[in-house]
Structure 1
């Protein structure tokens, strides 16, 4: 692929330092505020009224004869305090600088005004009395237009260069490289929830960027802490970040981020990144199209494997090897299923664009693929219509630790507007022949885990206990009826019912040992005896009747389950 020469971004911003070198202002004298000479000028205006502050815009160069700053009635100049307040007001408005004509109306500017200008880094300069403001404004406007034209030229040429990269088969890494080279910056191309798909740039900028408080422990960029456009980089003195969203077909596909540690970005970077984002959207759309075809092929095969219709173990292993999957080792089946979203389920037709309902599922699949590949590139990860299935090797590691690490990486700190999901984990298996059974275990764990603990639950099949049997009862009304029949008023949601159920569960956990239960609950022995009497008046003699005790234990488990 041929390299493309792009113009250097240096010098596109017009600063106060450069304004003071223009022919119309060459004789001007800077008298205060030298710390703000690198302020960017985007517009110029003349002060014609005393109360100018409501009309001042950010990055505006203001020039005045000084006459509007006099009292309208007395003709006397403002006192020093009023001029200090003027400088402070300009600083609050984000003005670039203030130029005053020498001598004629204000005379010598007070020391307090100069001190405020230095303190707030608002450049204050004197303009020779023979300079016409029309010359100044014309010259500044000419330079602004030239530089804006340059910025547009950079963005347009970069857009054409990046489009060429994509059309010639390039992908996100090549796009990131091109943008990073243009701005001498670190560049990240991320998913909407901040998962980095490509990065490029100098080692120094990348190292500084990675050290900023913008990444969670899973490595996800906290996109929810960034806004579109140019902004200071948190944790740095002069660093800048430019952010542009990646949109295509009414869908958000992520962001492209540029970072420099020395404040070398500017408005041109934002314009260029917006053009680059269009090309990134093209590349992402292409990736999604290719991925959809591959995923369908992989999904069809894995579905056959999980249903037990893919042939012998040898045939399955050989086919998986062709797909660069390794299933000839100890592993668990992990099933992740998005939790129901009440907002989406209650939205009327036509509220969302076509296909928008599939995006959360696609993003969940992409997140699992990215996280799993970092740990083991040969582990199968496939997204079905309503779930993600992972065949995760565990080796000598504890399966719980492996799966918990994966889930923590996928969820990150739950930023970026991601959807919660439930996860089910099978027992450890050692052969592809056991995959159908393990898949059923993982799916059952998802169902039971959600009913027991609600959205966002993680359930391991081996830890389900009797809930595995209860989950086989499809009739939720029958389960509720059973619990109410056994527990009576204790099956309700009143505070007293919940408190008494906890006491009953503690008794069952200690095999109805009253002394041990009193110690566990920190009750007096007689207090517990009173409670036992109250419980048995409601449910019967469960402490002495083993059959009733079993019914009570099952009923308490039913009440634990959510969604019934």
Structure 2
């Protein structure tokens, strides 16, 4: 808590200063006063401090008008609140140079009447400041007690939000690290904060836990990040501009964020423990080790799983085959919980997020919609990492989910084999279902044997033999291939003849055509 202060304007309303006059520098009348000092020596600068009101008779500089002229800008540079001079005895009047400098620096220069008592001024100003400090300490104790009661009473984020709203008399909301609104006071018409707002909350300026001014739903707000060991856990917002909130209000906001961080850590620990146990049980289910229906029913009831719905296994992996670190997997699982809805059963694996998805009406096509939703949400949370998704077929019997799991694993492997960021369902894998089980060197060797002479010829002559072969293999008709390639029929016949010169006869060999189709497929996949 910083020392209390009052404005210079308020200080001038105190009885010992009521007859004082501001001669110059009135633009700084709102300067804060935290201390009062008396100038008794010429070299006063080493002994002053910011937010100080300096009292003087100017006796130490009475014969040095040049020093008086430079005194004001030097004091202003030190951050003092102002200077109050009793000029009658030693100066007669305040030098013009001091007045000009005071106006130029917006540094209040106050003339005290001859009867002014420095002791009375110091006593009056410090009494008010100490009283303010006492009130602030009482307020801080109240804030501390209110939030401590929440912690001791087992209250959660809702109680924190309601208590803070009462203390600061503003609407309050609390969000997670992704901006999703968790709770708040009053009616909430906001579901999540924008990425820009969350970036402002957890940017460089918020590393030390400092509040930031933002706009939420078109309204000015003060946002305090919730941080734990430098990791963002969310934020707490008071829907009011920071300039309308008192220092006590801002400190209450900061204290609420600290208590919310404690609650979030506790809640996360409980959730993580529960999720780890659920994950073990779900792994037993999808691996086929759990075969007792009565045990499955007990676990489903305990964890709230609805296994009466037909479900499919969905596996998602971010980045490369390693799948990223634990934080990446956690973010991916959180994205799945948001995107797949409450009916989905989501858990974390070492490198993947997994889910039992219940498509609408057991429609397999709905699985692709779910996967697209997951990819969009994952892209928001992990913008630099492509997310590959594999989905098994829908099963009505939960004890058959081990088969859907095996299919999802195969689909995920195929997706990564094709390219990072693919969504693949087992039902639509086609030829890749077979090719994914063959090693990359074997695939490359097969492609090289079948079509490398054509690829080399195309590179050397800038020709289109591979494209021509692909069009012919797809249609098995030279005229149709010519239409696809937008070339003359005779051009295709000529190219096919050249192809047979390079790789041998194939036009009448069905098995060879199939092999060429596979080789072209491998080539297009980049192997």
For the criterion TM > 0.5, the same-fold answer is yes
- Matched with 1:215 is 194
Instruction: Report whether the alignment pairs 1:199 with 2:177.
Output: no
Q: Distance in 1 between matches of 2:521 and 2:125?
A: 77
- Matched with 1:335 is 315
Between 224-233 and 476-485, the greater mean CA deviation after superposition: 224-233
Q: Distance in 2 between matches of 1:312 and 1:147?
A: 70
Residues 149 and 387 of structure 1: CA distance in aligned 2, closer, same or farther (over 3 Å): farther
SS of residue paired to 2:475: coil
SS of residue paired to 2:222: strand
Q: Distance in 2 between matches of 1:523 and 1:179?
A: 75
SS of residue paired to 1:558: helix
SS of residue paired to 2:309: coil
Q: Distance in 2 between matches of 1:518 and 1:23?
A: 102
SS of residue paired to 1:301: helix
Quote the offset at 1:253 in angstroms: 5.3
Residues 74 and 177 of structure 1: CA distance in aligned 2, closer, same or farther (over 3 Å): closer
Q: Residues 420-456 of structure 1: CA distance to partner in whole angstroms, max 9, x if unpaired? A: 54322222333324311111122222222122121x4
Q: Distance in 2 between matches of 1:233 and 1:462?
A: 48
Residues 382 and 105 of structure 1: CA distance in aligned 2, closer, same or farther (over 3 Å): same
Instruction: Report whether the alignment pairs 1:252 with 2:216.
Output: no
SS of residue paired to 1:261: coil
- Matched with 1:3 is none
Q: Distance in 2 between matches of 1:234 and 1:326?
A: 40
Task: Report if aligned partners of 1:298, 1:382 keep a CA contact under 8 Å in 2.
Answer: yes
Between 280-289 and 462-471, the greater mean CA deviation after superposition: 280-289
Q: Distance in 2 between matches of 1:530 and 1:145?
A: 100
Q: Residues 380-432 of structure 1: CA distance to partner in whole angstroms, max 9, x if unpaired? A: 222233322211222246222233224423443646xx865432222233332
SS of residue paired to 1:239: strand
Instruction: Report whether the alignment pairs 1:444 with 2:410.
Output: yes
Instruction: Report whether the alignment pairs 1:183 with 2:168.
Output: yes
Q: Distance in 1 between matches of 2:490 and 2:156?
A: 75
SS of residue paired to 2:212: strand
5 Å-filtered alignment, 1:113-152, equals 127-128=110-111
Larger radius of gyration: 2
Q: Distance in 2 between matches of 1:187 and 1:505?
A: 66
User: Which of the residues 429, 435, 440 maps onto 1:470?
Assistant: 435
5 Å-filtered alignment, 1:142-541, equals 154=139, 157-196=142-181, 198-203=182-187, 206-207=188-189, 210=190, 214-215=193-194, 227=206, 228-234=209-215, 239-247=220-228, 250=229, 252=231, 254-263=233-242, 264-265=244-245, 268-269=248-249, 271-311=251-291, 316-317=296-297, 319-340=299-320, 357-372=325-340, 375-376=341-342, 378-396=343-361, 398-412=366-380, 414=382, 421-454=387-420, 456-473=421-438, 475-488=439-452, 503=467, 507=471, 510-511=474-475, 513=477, 520=484, 539-540=503-504
- Matched with 1:354 is none
SS of residue paired to 1:391: strand
Between 519-528 and 308-317, the greater mean CA deviation after superposition: 519-528
Unaligned runs of 5+ in 1: 1-8, 47-51, 79-85, 118-122, 346-356
Count the aligned residue pairs: 495
SS of residue paired to 2:306: coil
Quote the offset at 1:326 in angstroms: 0.9
Q: Distance in 2 between matches of 1:270 and 1:334?
A: 45
Q: Distance in 2 between matches of 1:181 and 1:40?
A: 28
Q: Distance in 2 between matches of 1:522 and 1:149?
A: 88
Q: Distance in 2 between matches of 1:559 and 1:134?
A: 93
Which structure carries more relative contact order (alpha carbon 8 Å, separation 6+)?
A: 1
Q: Distance in 1 between matches of 2:391 and 2:423?
A: 8
Quote the offset at 1:143 in angstroms: 6.5
Q: Distance in 2 between matches of 1:272 and 1:425?
A: 48
Q: Distance in 2 between matches of 1:542 and 1:43?
A: 98
Q: Distance in 2 between matches of 1:546 and 1:363?
A: 50
SS of residue paired to 1:459: strand
Between 393-402 and 306-315, the greater mean CA deviation after superposition: 306-315
Q: Distance in 1 between matches of 2:80 and 2:516?
A: 76
Unaligned runs of 5+ in 2: 39-44, 59-63, 88-92
Q: Distance in 2 between matches of 1:38 and 1:22?
A: 15
Residues 39 and 443 of structure 1: CA distance in aligned 2, closer, same or farther (over 3 Å): farther
Quote the offset at 1:269 in angstroms: 5.0
Q: Residues 446-492 of structure 1: CA distance to partner in whole angstroms, max 9, x if unpaired? A: 222122121x433222232211111122x332222222332326779
> TM-score, normalization: structure 2?
0.70
- Matched with 2:513 is 549
Q: Distance in 2 between matches of 1:471 and 1:387?
A: 19
Quote the offset at 1:503 in angstroms: 2.6
Q: Residues 500-558 of structure 1: CA distance to partner in whole angstroms, max 9, x if unpaired? A: 59835851574255565565556677777776677666555566644333223323333
Residues 43 and 514 of structure 1: CA distance in aligned 2, closer, same or farther (over 3 Å): farther
Quote the offset at 1:335 in angstroms: 1.4
Between 259-268 and 501-510, the greater mean CA deviation after superposition: 501-510
Task: Report if aligned partners of 1:483, 1:555 keep a CA contact under 8 Å in 2.
Answer: yes
Task: Report if aligned partners of 2:314, 2:391 keep a CA contact under 8 Å in 1.
Answer: yes
Quote the offset at 1:74 in angstroms: 10
SS of residue paired to 1:412: helix
> TM-score, normalization: structure 1?
0.66
CA RMSD of the aligned region, Å? 5.5
Q: Distance in 1 between matches of 2:468 and 2:410?
A: 28
Q: Distance in 2 between matches of 1:477 and 1:97?
A: 78
Task: Report if aligned partners of 1:317, 1:326 keep a CA contact under 8 Å in 2.
Answer: no
